[in-house]
Structure 1
Amino acid sequence: MSLPLSGKKALITGSSHGVGLASAHLFAAQGADVVLHGNANMADADAAVQAIGPKALGAVQADLSQPGAGRDLYEKALHLASGQLDIIVNNAGIHWATPLDSSDAEWEANWAVTLQVNLMAVADICRAAIPEMVASGGGSIINIASRAGYRGEDRNHMAYGASKGALLSLTKTIARQWGSDGIYAYALAPGWIDTRMGPQHEEDRARAKAEIPIGDLAQPEEIAAMCAFLASGACRSATGSCIDINGASYVR
């Protein structure tokens, strides 16, 4: 009996830790060959490659805050995958605070970097991947957005909410425009996830849990499980949709 992702090759960004790392392990366990990505923490990405074993094709270093880094990352990953990438999971992102009373320079710089990492790098990866996927008969693109893309974010993270809202639109456009070419695009909208980007101090964690009806943060493995399901092609008609994974803290 074949595994759900047998024969597929995937690039998972931000896979040195958290959701990306959990996804890399699960994708490999389900039969996919995976290319990982890290930046300053390449030691962790390289360690993950060793831990995953033969199903890990390698790890690419890329600073997605730099213009053009998304396309460069894709091209290097495509080389490691011997010219075939069937699945892209755009997971890397940042959540920088930028209050209204920031200096003009800090405000503009933080907005620019947030949009670059959370939106432009993703768009560049998709731009590079789409023609390759069309030529090879299709593929799956899974973008990790946020409930903030729908409900908005707190007053200090407006740039984050804006970037995730735009990411949702990007995903829907890809699904609508390239579905006939066999390209399926999905977005996930988590709330708080139990990763280093989530609340760390006990008071902050308690506050976060209090707004979640099921009383707990999502685990990285839950997000990874949904990514793997969507990547399997088991429900192609869900293309263009956004799956909420937030413990009912925001219900549309």
Structure 2
Amino acid sequence: MKPGTTSDGLLTGTTVLVTGASGGIGRETALAAHREGAHVIAHWAHNERAAADLEKLLGGRGRLVRADLLDPDATENMWHEALAWRGRIDVLVNNAGAWLSSSPRDAGDWRRGWSENLALNLTGPADLSRNALLHFEERGGGVIVSVTSRSAHRGDDAEHLAYGAAKAGLQSLTKGIARGFARSGVLAYSIAPGWVATELAAGSTSGADLPLGEVTPPQDVAEMIVFLASGRSRHTTGATIDITGADYVR
């Protein structure tokens, strides 16, 4: 059953894999997808307590998988573990990421920052996307939604150059997937948030001039992800949706 084909819920009958689901945007996406009828595979890495709390909320239509996406082998194993649960994945949400520093003023931080930002924010999602594409081609289609950042458009600050570059790479990858695999029934979208009320942004928004007067709730991002995952706007494939509360407007 393909996304968006029933009237029960936007994702009834589908299986959705959400990375970084123990908090923030990932948690809200997992809950929103579950509300819309999906079976949800929730990836987590470090916050065991938050993952356990989410598992209770997902109940019988939920499954937890753990992996450090900095490790390519662990990422590969996680995909196969996720796939084994129901024998299918209809939607991949590349949400896991981190705003890791890469200060050019410190050689160690610079090298570590580039290595870890590329691994977590680009090559990890790329490896998962590769597996999803092979699976989707066998099944006749599927959906990939990747969470990038406004930094993918405008660049990031002096201490986070690698983060912006990695997110730009993920955004370009998603566009390429949309173009290259459309005839295989694959839809691919990017979500580019600004400041979102998550741990990642905690303490970083003081003094920010936000047009709506508030940081974006993670639920706003989750609702857009679920809508795109439903397949109800197929010709939006390849697009990047900005969710910044007009803080950054292209």
Measured against the shorter chain, the TM-score band is over 0.9
Match of 1:9 in 2: 15
Instruction: Find the counterpart in structure 2 of residue 205 from structure 1.
Output: 205
Matched, 1:157 2:160: yes
Query: What residue number does 1:54 align with?
Result: 60
What corresponds to 1:100 in structure 2? 104
Instruction: Measure the CA separation in 1 of the matches of 2:74 and 2:143.
Output: 21
Match of 2:49 in 1: 43
Count residues in correspondence: 244
Length-normalised TM-score, structure 2? 0.95
Aligned counterparts, 1:55-94, within 5 A: 55-56=61-62, 58-80=63-85, 82-94=86-98
Aligned-residue identity in percent: 38
Aligned counterpart for 1:171 among listed residues 171, 174, 182: 174
Amino acid in the other structure paired with 1:96? L
1:239 alignment counterpart: 237
Partners of 1:87 and 1:141 within 8 A in 2: yes
Give the superposed CA RMSD.
1.1
Question: Could you give the per-residue CA deviations for residues 110-141 of structure 1, whole angstroms, max 9, x where no partner exists?
Answer: 21011000000000001111011111110100
Superposition deviation, residue 92 in structure 1: 0.3
Task: Please list the CA deviations of residues 117-175 of structure 1 after superposition, one character each: whole Å capped at 9, or x if unmatched.
Answer: 00000000011110111111101000000000001111100010000110111000000
Structure 1 residue 86, shift from structure 2 partner: 0.2
Secondary structure of 1:141's aligned partner: strand
Structure 1 segments (4+ residues) deviating >4 Å: none
Provide the rounded CA distance (Å) in 2 between the counterparts of 1:31 and 1:186.
21
Counterparts of 1:171 and 1:72 in 2: how far apart (Å)?
A: 22
Residue among 129, 132, 135 paired with 1:132? 135
Q: Which runs of 5+ in 1 are unaligned?
A: none
> What is the TM-score with the length of structure 1 in the denominator?
0.94
Q: Tell me, which stretches of 5 or more residues in structure 2 are unaligned?
A: 1-6
Q: 1:42 deviation in Å? A: 2.4
- Greater displacement, 110-119 / 46-55: 46-55
Q: Residue 135 of structure 1: SS of its match in structure 2? A: helix
